[in-house]
Chain A
Amino acid sequence: MNRLSSVLKMHFRDKATWFIIPYAVLASSFLVNLIVGYISQEEITTGGIMSIYVYLFVMGITVLPQTFNFALSFSVRRHDYFTGTALFAAANSLFISVILLVLGAIEKATAGWGTHLHFFSLPYLNEGSIIQQLIVYFMIIITLFFSGFTIGSIYRKFKGIGMIVMAIVGVAISTVLSFLMTHYNWWKYIFAWFSDKTALDIALWLIPITLIYALVSYLLLRRSTV
């Protein structure tokens, strides 16, 4: 338990990575959209919120080279490292989700920051109750973080060769799959499946995916060396 709190502390002390840069990225994207909104005076719906999602995906990749060797060198178990990092990432994802939700509410209340800008509050994604919206945000963020974290773990365990193999296998599988789907005309079923799902439905489907990412990265890190 004590070691776990040390790992949380290790991440917490890296203020720039967790508490400054993600919001700076989001703010700069928002500012650009806001300026465009003022100039154009049109109703704008933008995907600028993607910027923070992409940042969290990248962070999932970079958190390992930043802290894994360091933690191991400072006598932290791999198990504690993983658990602490996963917990911290979850707490951080929740924190960001709440902030996005609040900003979305402000956006609605101010009629799009006085310029009809839809930045935080988007159609489809921001439907349903507050809790439902929170789940959608949270699952998007944590899934992206753990997909990055899994990539980072593959690199930790297998180094450069692992990345090449992963890329080749990834491309091969997606090529074969998309060929099969085109050949057997499965695309329409897939689109049909998605089309009657709400954002919340899809967010719930992300839970098993994230759990698989977490399990894979845990197993890889258990066998990783400095």
Chain B
Amino acid sequence: MTNVVEVKQLTKTYGSVQAVKGVSFSLEPDKIYGLLGRNGAGKTTIMHMLTAQLFATSGEMKIFGESPYENNNVLTQVCFIKESLKYPDNYKVIDVLELSESLFPNWDREYAYSLLQDFQLPLKRRIKKLSRGMHSSLGIIVGLASRAPLTIFDEPYLGLDAVARSLFYDRLLEDYSENPRTVILSTHLIDEVSRMLEHVIVVDNGSIILNEDSEELRSAAYSIAGASSIVEPFLTGKKIIAKQPFGALVNAAVMGRLSAEERKKAESLGLELAPVSLQQLIIHLTNGKLDAKEADRS
């Protein structure tokens, strides 16, 4: 099967500022992708270009095998929910749902209304009068019920409490297993979504610094804790991405895999081994990148 998204050397410059610097990646069908990175890293710009809402300065881009610009073959298959979504001033919740029904070919009306109940959204209320969290819920409902073959959520939960967020994750996973599609979830709440993501792309400063299967990623590093006198010799020759001393103890995150032998040795030495959480790993990786840059400069 062909890739849903194929991007080559995508670049966006604003004057002298390069917001996106020659990014290349591809997305396979029916997977949940995490597009992660700090605020201002270029995530939203990339997604705007994928949906032809912004124009790339240079680079190639194919969505469902075609260019997305002014292309209904592509656009009817895409639903892009962003945090800053603005609705017409006089619109009510029902207006958005009715319009979505006519715009998204796979729209499931019944499902939309059941989500409306789940998120306790008043159908007749004007959108201007919705709270920030309700506003976000509306976007989530549209994104889920659109069942678009490529559904993109860009920080969809501003103002949503933890209960509503986990409701979103549950509904997304449920519906995804029944109606597989390609989902891009862009967020900085990495730990919350890490269990859903099948593949992770990390953007930093306009470039992709990590593009990895999440299973691979989780096993790509481990953390080790114990008395520093024991840990330090164990660490020699290993790629340490972070080290935090607590008095006589030390907690280190290490890139790479442990062999069974090393694992046994560590256990016999009384060291504690644990997986590194995705969030930790990404923070380590992005910090490492930033540190390297600082070093370059000086």
**Footprint of B on A, CB under 8 Å?**
2-3, 5-6, 9-10, 13-17, 66-67, 69-70, 72-80, 222-223, 225-226
Contacts and interface: CB of A to CB of B under 8 A. Distances in A.
B53 A13 contact: no
A85 to B, nearest CB: 12
B54 A226 contact: yes
B87 A17 contact: no
Interface residues of B, number: 29
Interface string B87-122: 111110001001110111000000000000000000
Q: Identify the interface centre among A5, A69, A77: most chain B CB within 10 Å of its CB.
A: A77
Contact of A73 (B53, B91, B95, B104): B53
Contacts of A70: 85-88
A13 B95 contact: yes
A67 B86 CA distance: 9
A9 B102 contact: yes
Nearest to A21: B90
B75 A13 contact: no
Given A70-B86, A73-B80, A73-B82, A9 B99 contact: yes
A76 B76 CA distance: 8
Interface of B: 48, 51, 53-55, 70-72, 75-76, 78-80, 82, 85-91, 95, 98-100, 102-104, 148
Contacts of A72: 53
Contact of B102 (A6, A14, A79, A223): A6
Contact of A76 (B55, B75, B88, B91): B75
Contact of A6 (B85, B90, B99, B148): B99
A140 B115 CA distance: 47
Given A67-B88, A73-B80, A76-B75, 11 more contacts: A9-B99, A9-B102, A10-B99, A13-B95, A14-B95, A66-B88, A70-B86, A73-B85, A74-B100, A80-B72, A225-B48
